[in-house]
Chains A and B, each alone.
Chain A
């Protein structure tokens, strides 16, 4: 069974952390992953940096720009991750935009992910319809779970479709926003979390965008299976050393 599916069966609220590969320094990738696992994080999203990350706010864009300057490429990332499964056992997901994947070759990319032991992909600008018609069989052939986003504006009908195409979890964007752009959740967010929970989807939901601390993590996971932190973690990496990762994680899950 895919590590993601296994993890989702555990009886706890999951904390997933996003970071941009190649940031702060080119060769921090493996250390960050190892430290995150040691700190008790449940799942990791490894960001493959892109020059034009449309869905991301300034924090993640700046880290991507720096990572690219540092020399991060798809090839370099795959080399860095070559032996990752010797030291890390939690689910690993690569999150990146579609163009770099397309240039590498979708099938070659998926094959490489399988070899390394990557469990899933999140590609925000690969729409579910295109995935379903053109790429689903390739992803499945290489044992990869593809994760789709939903937002407060996504219609029930489309959510049902996304649920039917998904085989891991649904990435629930907390509000209409790019990453890292809000602080705290209000009644509107909670109502949305509850509405989705009441749909009783086959895939569990993990909330992302706007989670930065213990309070927002607790709010987000009141109705969902887990939550993803990205920008707040990148900010931590920017201001602190990478061996203080456990401080950040403890601050969120306590």
Chain B
């Protein structure tokens, strides 16, 4: 079984590029050039240099001793939370800004939900001196004021998405419309492993530095490259894609994908796409998405703003359908508890997204010898307000 994208842009039956003709020239240009550009020695050098000196990579692979003791197994945390800007998102924005420059683009647009990808995009635009416009749902702008301020300080223009449900999916629609209106000078930096081909594959490749490092770090620490499990939370699925990438075709590595169950998978307030979703088209790709019987896209819910996307990247839809990955759903309460536990056992305040991945240890038993790598995709600073309210701190 092949879990990578095929030449037509599909992962099994998922993926493709279901885009209006207005977007075709842009997406086609990217499709024709992205692999070639990424393979250029110059590009690689600049990318790796920035990851090292600017982002602070490699991010540590940390053996969480007290957490491991509690759950009688061996838990390693891949510390993406220590990256510049506080999450894995920057790996992709660095890659795409370099791509945009090589394609001769002078104007950058992005969508953002909680604001992490928006901040990561505004950051690299400041770094490269490019104009930056970030679309963000009107409701998210109100919920995530500190990130809006960060983007503004970094010189980005934050445009409210006023249509539809005024959250992430609508911000994505607005960014796509902007791209339709500005087809020549603009590059759209999508933040997750979603969108029309080649975006899911391009984002996955930029994020694959995560699993590339895990391999040699694990080899250094325990003498073997492959863990028994890799675990990551999934909204659209960019940190998960990067965490799994170099293990996809290693059958002895089990893959666990953790979705946000919100108030409970069947509560009507959930973002567990693998359970609640059906095959369909969202934002240019065929994948699993939450929708009405009639094909209208519905609004998901999670306490974590980074996981409440109604779809999931096409690679993950394929991993789910083929059974290559095991999908688990974690509720708000379970995630918040796991987040607090990490603070108290390891002195690390995780992003609520990442807390979902940590919550599986209460749900599922592992063997004492199992080596489990969990992607700690982001840090919890941005979530302090939510933590304060939830735990009445």
Binding site for B on A (CB under 8 A): 50-55, 57-58, 61-62, 65, 68, 73-75, 97-104, 124-128, 130, 148-151, 153-155, 158, 173, 176-178, 181
Residues of chain A with a CB closer than 8 A to B183's CB: 151, 153, 176
Given the complex, which residues of A lie within 8 Å of B291, measured CB to CB? 99, 103
A-B contact pairs, 16 of them (CB 8 A): A52-B164, A52-B283, A54-B173, A54-B284, A99-B280, A99-B282, A100-B296, A103-B295, A128-B21, A130-B16, A149-B21, A151-B22, A153-B25, A176-B180, A177-B181, A178-B177
Q: How far is the CA of A149 from the CA of B24 in the complex (A)?
A: 11
**Are A101's CB and B295's CB within 8 A?**
yes
- Taking CB as reference atom, which chain B residue is nearest A62? B163
Q: How far is the CA of A76 from the CA of B69 in the complex (A)?
A: 59
Least Cβ distance of B25 to chain A in Å? 4
Interface pair A155/B25, CB less than 8 Å apart: yes
A51 touches B24 (CB 8 A): no
Question: Cα distance A55–B178 when bound, in Å?
Answer: 10
- Taking Cβ atoms with an 8 Å cutoff, the residues of B that contact A are 16-22, 24-25, 162-164, 169-170, 173, 176-177, 180-184, 278-284, 291, 293-298
CA distance A91 to B164 in the complex (A): 31
Q: Which residues of the other chain, A, contact B169 by a CB distance below 8 angstroms?
A: 52
Asked whether, in the complex, the Cβ of B173 is within 8 Å of the Cβ of A52, the reply is yes
CA distance A176 to B369 in the complex (A): 59
- What residue of chain A has the Cβ atom nearest to residue B26's Cβ? A153
Chain A residues with CB below 8 A from B16, complex form: 130
Cα–Cα distance between A44 and B182 once the two chains are bound (Å): 29
CB distance from A165 to the nearest CB of B (A): 12
- When distances are taken between beta carbons in the complex, the residues of chain B under 8 Å from A176 are 22, 180-184
Which of B25, B177, B279, B284 contacts A125 (CB under 8 A)? Answer: B284
Please measure, in the bound complex, the distance between the C-alpha atom of A15 and the C-alpha atom of B56, giving whole angstroms: 60
- Are B280's CB and A127's CB within 8 A? no
Question: Within the complex, which residue of B21, B278, B282 is in contact with A52, where a contact is CB–CB below 8 Å?
Answer: B282
Given A65-B164, A73-B294, A75-B294, 7 more contacts at CB 8 Å?
A: A52-B164, A55-B22, A55-B180, A99-B280, A176-B181, A176-B184, A178-B177
**Cβ-closest chain B residue relative to A162:** B21
List the A residue with the shortest CB-CB distance to B298.
Answer: A51
Determine if A127 and B18 form an interchain contact, defined as CB atoms under 8 angstroms apart: yes
Contacts of A54 in B (CB 8 A): 19-20, 173, 176-177, 180, 283-284
Are A61's CB and B294's CB within 8 A? no
A99-B280, A125-B284 are contacts. A51–B296 as well, Cβ < 8 Å? yes
Cβ contact within 8 Å between A173 and B22? yes
Question: Which residues from A are CB-within-8-Å of B297?
Answer: 51-52, 99
Known interface pairs A98-B281, A178-B177, A178-B181; A173-B21 also in contact (CB < 8 Å): yes
Kindly state the separation between the CA atoms of A65 and B169 in the bound complex, as whole angstroms.
14
